[in-house]
Structure 1
Amino acid sequence: MPALSLSNYLVPVLLLLASNVFMTFAWYGHLKYKSAPLFMAIVVSWGIAFFEYSLMVPANRMGSGVYSVVQLKTIQEVITLVVFAGFSAWYLGQPLKWNHYAAFALIVGAAFLMFYDGPGAAAH
């Protein structure tokens, strides 16, 4: 079995990050153009989502070699929140408030628990 390198862990995360940028634009980018016909928003969103899937599927395939499925989903959700927070403030002009940051901190704490095996777990 080949040795795992840093890239085995990093590449899936980078692909998830890139896919989430596309996903966020596909799901929420049209909100900046509410006067555009809904059908056009749907078609454009589907076109953007193609690129999201083109990155998400390989990220999950590669990532499943080094992360559990639960860990992959947790990574994806944390990335989604980070990307969405930036997108909301930068693109939609809706900055986050203190309670949003507090909620995100709690989610990051939950994500930590998904990766935490407890003391001495590596010895088993």
Structure 2
Amino acid sequence: MRDGVAVYLPGSSPDRGPSHPYRSFEPTAAIGPTGQSRDTEGMAFGPDGKTLAAPAGQGLLLWNVATRKPRAILLTGPKGPESTVRDVAFSPDGRLIAGNDTKHHKVYLWKNPE
């Protein structure tokens, strides 16, 4: 496996023709279950690059990047309708994680369970 991160640009597929200089890349790694049709938005890497926070169900799912396995779930509240956390951000020191629930007009703040 090669080192690096694949960045997908809108319309950067081989069928764009020679007039468009974008090159297409296949991902070098995947985190999480495959074959699901759900979209993921608003993911964020922690400042140390070891954690990836991604919206999931009733909150955020924190992934260990090295092992590609979940390490914690941060809930937005009691079980009920799914939250719509779209924007995720870590504090500069990585101790706090913020999530913006666009549907319910709320911002959640969690301590990072390191």
| TM-score, length basis structure 1 | 0.22
Identify, as 1 or 2, the structure richer in helix.
1
Between Structure 1 and Structure 2, which shows a larger proportion of strand residues? 2
Between structure 1 and structure 2, the one with the greater Rg is: 1
Task: Tell me: higher relative CO, structure 1 or 2? Use CA pairs within 8 A at least 6 residues apart.
Answer: 1
TM-score with structure 2 setting the length: 0.23
